[in-house]
Structure formats: C-alpha cells, structure tokens
C-alpha cells in the first residue's frame, strides 16, 4: 500500500485544530450568537474536517488481482491488464496511470511534494505494473 505521509499528518492536524477552534469559538468567544449560529459554526468545522479526511485517505493498494486507487472522492478498482504504465514527471502533484481503454487517471496516493518518498513509491509501483501487466514489450 502506498499513501502520503505529510498530507495525512497536515490534514488531520488541521481538521482537529479547526473543529476544536470552532467549538471553542461557538461556546466561549461568541456569547452573543444564537444557538442556531453556534451549531452552524460547528457543522461548518465538521464539513471542513470531512473534506480534509477525504484528502488524507488517498492511497494505492496492490493485490494479486490488480490495483485499488483511492482518490479524494472516488475509489476505482483496476485489474492488472487494465494498467499499462505509471508516469510522473517532475513537478506533477501525483502520478498518472495509463489505462488500456486509452484513458488515464491520477493516483493521489503518491504525492509529488514528498520528493524522496514519492520517488521510492513510484519506482515500486512502476516495477509492480511492469511485472503484472500483460502489455507487450514489458
């Protein structure tokens, strides 16, 4: 399984700070607010925390059958023959999977911002795709 480290840490810490901060703001700092306004403040924080969780859950899982690519708001299962190649040029935020149907998709489970970790994870994924893919010349 490949997943980013920094993104997860930052997302969950930020989510916790936002939720805690809005709860404190709703209870302590905003006594003139109505109850409805306070509830909306906390609900807003929960929605922001949910979005951050969706970004932090990104990963790529490999099995004998294929890959499971979990991006922020979509999970896709791919059989090995569907995945032709994995590419990530310098400066891209995450790698791109080239698929047999001619399309491509991003794999947010490897984050380009984590340079050395991303390089290692990308190499591992590329080697696995080469070994498992049924594309010719591999």
Which domain range does residue 21 map to? 6-56
Spatial CB neighbours of 18, under 8 Å, sequence gap ≥ 6: 45, 48, 49, 52
Query: Are residues 24 and 76 located together in one domain of the fold?
Result: no
Query: Are residues 84 and 127 located together in one domain of the fold?
Result: yes
Query: Are residues 71 and 128 located together in one domain of the fold?
Result: yes
Would you say residue 81 lies in a domain? yes
Query: Are residues 108 and 68 located together in one domain of the fold?
Result: yes
Query: Are residues 77 and 38 located together in one domain of the fold?
Result: no
Query: Are residues 51 and 11 located together in one domain of the fold?
Result: yes
Query: Are residues 104 and 47 located together in one domain of the fold?
Result: no
Task: Summarize pLDDT for 73-88 with one digit per residue, the tens.
Answer: 999 999 999 999 999 9
Q: What is the pTM of this model?
A: 0.83
Q: Are strands 66-70 and 75-79 parallel, antiparallel or unpaired?
A: antiparallel
Backbone angles phi, psi at 101, to 5 degrees: -80, 5
**Long-range contacts of range 103-110, CB-CB < 8 Å, 24 or more positions apart?**
105/69, 105/71, 105/76, 106/71, 107/60, 107/69, 107/71, 108/4, 108/55, 108/58, 108/71, 108/72, 109/2, 109/3, 109/4, 109/58, 109/59, 109/60, 109/69, 109/70, 109/71, 110/2, 110/4, 110/60
Could you tell me the CATH number of the domain that includes residue 68? 2.30.29
Task: Summarize pLDDT for 42-61 with one digit per residue, the tens.
Answer: 999 999 999 999 999 999 99
* Domain count along the chain: 2
Query: Are residues 116 and 78 located together in one domain of the fold?
Result: yes
């Amino acid at each position: 399984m490949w997943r980013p480290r920094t993104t997860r840490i930052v997302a969950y810490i930020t989510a916790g700070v936002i939720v805690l901060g809005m709860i404190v703001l709703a209870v302590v700092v905003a006594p003139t607010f109505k109850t409805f306004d306070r509830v909306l403040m906390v609900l807003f924080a929960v929605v922001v925390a949910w979005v951050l969780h969706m970004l932090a859950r990104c990963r790529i899982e490999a099995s004998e059958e294929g890959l499971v690519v979990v991006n922020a708001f979509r999970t896709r299962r791919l059989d090995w023959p569907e995945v032709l190649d994995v590419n990530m040029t310098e400066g891209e935020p995450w790698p791109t999977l080239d698929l047999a149907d001619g399309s491509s998709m991003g794999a947010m489970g490897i984050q380009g911002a984590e340079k050395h970790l991303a390089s290692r994870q990308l190499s591992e994924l590329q080697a696995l795709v080469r070994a498992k893919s049924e594309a010719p010349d591999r």
